[in-house]
Structure 1
Amino acid sequence: MLCTIGDLVEDVVVWLNTELNFGSDTESVIRRTRGGSAANVSMFAALTGTPSRFIGQVGHDRLGSHLCEVLRDSGVDVHVIADGRTGSIVVLVQPNGQRSFLTDRGVASHLKHFDTTLMNNVSILHIPTYSLTDEPLASTCVQYVNVARATGTLISIDASSASVLKQYGTDRYRALIQSLSPEVFMCNEDEAAVLGLGPQKPMTGALLTVIKQGPLPVIAVQHDGTTTEVAVTPVANIVDTTGAGDAFAAGFLPHYVKTKEIKHAIAQGHAVASRVLQSPGATLNTSQQ
């Protein structure tokens, strides 16, 4: 089972038909979907055949209840504390595909409830960096990481956001990752640049660093610097990149934990990510099974 800890929020995805007209009107297409990096990974995993669990906090409101229901309907084992106000994220998608995020996490970072039994039957613990920067959620995540390490569960961390890394402080962040010692550390090219990662330059403390570069080859760097580059199959008819990195994790991790075959796991990660790229928001293209 794959378990994630973190945000379950509403994504309000706005596709701008033209460049944003500040102070005036801009014609757009607007869609509301379930979002949150941790929730995305758990849902994509469940929808592609991997049992998954989500741990988090939502508001004691209709939105929080609805988002939990959507996750459960996708096959996710949902464990949340419901208190306060559920968060929302506005995703502005420019005509050229560039995305900007306006974030209101609500109570997502307020989780302090810890239940060691939720790690039963878990083989993968995946934590986005969004879950490691604000208290009390960050300390709660560390508790789950400690249980995972003691039980031999694969620990995976995603860098989440270049701006979040800069705000947190890169030296402080490197020390955090070294202390958590994940088996897998994932990032995109922007996050890798902030952290100084690349071929022969893995994340300190991680056994495997996976750098996603959009349409360019994925770079996998082992802790000793051994580097593997894996070309990805071009994706036609890209609709939106929201959630693609989370989908990659949902495809990569279950195969990696079983086989340790880096190239095959990357191919599986890309296969799931491609389905999200062809669907609006953090959703899967259901025409591909």
Structure 2
Amino acid sequence: MVSEGILLGYGNPLLDITVSGTEEFLKKYDLKSDDAILAEEKHMPMYSEMVETFKDVEFIPGGATQNSLRVVQWLIEMPKATTYFGCISKDKFGDILVEKATDAKVNVQYQYTDKAPTGTCAVVVMGNQRSLCANLAAANCFTESHLDDADNWALVEKAKYYYIAGFPLTVSPSAILRIAKYACEQNKVFCSNLSAPFICQFFKEPLMQTLPYVDFLFGNHEEAIQFGIANEFNTNDIKEIALKSSQLPKENKKRSRVVVFTCGDKSTVVAKDGKVEEYSIIPVEPSEIVDTNAAGDAFVGGFLAQLINDKPISDCIKCGHYAANVIVKRSGCSLPEKHDYR
């Protein structure tokens, strides 16, 4: 039974700045299509250039975990069933994030900083591909001390499910580990995500420290390949990588790890208990695709919306596919007022 505060997430809250880009723009800022990276000094002029030179600039609340929680709220229609931690600044973009997340009925409990402005993410759309470049800014200032606040920790204790994407491993791995260990000790469900190839490449240590506490691990095809390379699985077969990932050491022996890898327009791969299953996606015509940005976040949101209702994995996958199908036909992680999922 879904209840208030049943699902808690921590992530990097960002305001997505979305434009329809050009090959010339990608090349200028050394960006690749269908990739996600952290901004470097060379990328900093890009954000103002996008706002000043492109037509039809869209501002959409983003950040992987926050996106997924907004999708959960949209599907289950219970105010404050989800709680979200992250760090922002008290500025214009921060105000937009608070407003949008509150409108989505997410119980946002942000940590505030005056050390940096609210984080932004450049979303450069090229046909069916997108390039993401995140300037974490304030999101990079989140500290584990946020969990020391009695009211915040009470929200952690209240939750029965947790979802933290891989991106905050670059910010506060200690906060992630604290929540993950608590979930394990209490036999609650902890979910995470590989999130981007660079997480597997350059943040393998905190990723592998957290993995023993992960009950559900999500990722896409590219991330799975990189995870396999990082762990010397010696295969590019997604099903084999999923299986080997599910069998890595796990602290909570009371439940098996479930690994879920989405593969674009191919079937979703699920590994559990030494078995691998594939689930067909909902077909979508290429002409219907507006933007693949946040499709993975939407899939996770749909999955979690059923998981917290104690539904079987097949139902979770079905709802994940539905949510992703809706999102790719829209710009960014924007949602219709009502869903028609049954």
Deviations 1:214-267 (A, max 9, x none): 111000001x43101011111241111111111111111232344452222100
Q: Which gives a bigger RCO, structure 1 or 2 (Cα 8 Å, sep 6+)?
A: 2
Greater strand content? 1
Alignment of 1:214-225 (within 5 A): 214-222=264-272, 224-225=273-274
Deviations 1:142-198 (A, max 9, x none): 1122222222221000111012321224xx35632434x211000000001011273
User: Secondary structure of 2:136's match?
Assistant: strand
1:10 aligns with 15
Rounded Cα–Cα distance in structure 2 between residues aligned with 1:284 and 1:144: 29
Rounded Cα–Cα distance in structure 1 between residues aligned with 2:130 and 2:156: 35
Rounded Cα–Cα distance in structure 2 between residues aligned with 1:127 and 1:259: 19
Alignment of 1:148-187 (within 5 A): 148-169=183-204, 172=205, 175-179=208-212, 181-187=213-219
Verify: 1:274 aligned to 2:274, yes or no.
Answer: no
RMSD between superposed Cα atoms in Å:
2.3
1:28 Cα deviation from its structure 2 partner: 5.1
User: Secondary structure of 1:248's match?
Assistant: helix
1:56 aligns with 86
- CA change 1:27–1:109 in 2 (3 A) is closer
2:135 aligns with 104
Greater helix content? 2
Question: What is the percent sequence identity of the aligned residues?
Answer: 23
Tell me if the contact between 1:92 and 1:101 (Cα under 8 Å) persists in the aligned partners: yes
Rounded Cα–Cα distance in structure 2 between residues aligned with 1:286 and 1:258: 22
Rounded Cα–Cα distance in structure 2 between residues aligned with 1:139 and 1:107: 18
User: Secondary structure of 1:64's match?
Assistant: helix
Scaled by the length of structure 2, the TM-score of the pair is: 0.76
Once structures 1 and 2 are overlaid, which stretch shifts more, 265-274 or 193-202? 193-202
User: Secondary structure of 1:99's match?
Assistant: strand
Unaligned ranges ≥5, structure 2:
1-5, 29-48, 229-236, 251-256
- CA change 1:107–1:9 in 2 (3 A) is same
Count of residue pairs the alignment pairs up: 281
1:202 Cα deviation from its structure 2 partner: 3.5
Which amino acid is 1:198 matched to? I
1:125 aligns with 162
Q: 1:194 aligns with which of 226, 234, 249?
A: 226
Tell me if the contact between 1:242 and 1:282 (Cα under 8 Å) persists in the aligned partners: yes
Rounded Cα–Cα distance in structure 2 between residues aligned with 1:28 and 1:110: 32
1:233 aligns with 282
Deviations 1:7-65 (A, max 9, x none): 1111001113x533567998654211111111111111111116211111101222212
Scaled by the length of structure 1, the TM-score of the pair is: 0.89
Tell me if the contact between 2:327 and 2:335 (Cα under 8 Å) persists in the aligned partners: yes
1:44 aligns with 71
Q: 1:91 aligns with which of 116, 123, 129?
A: 123
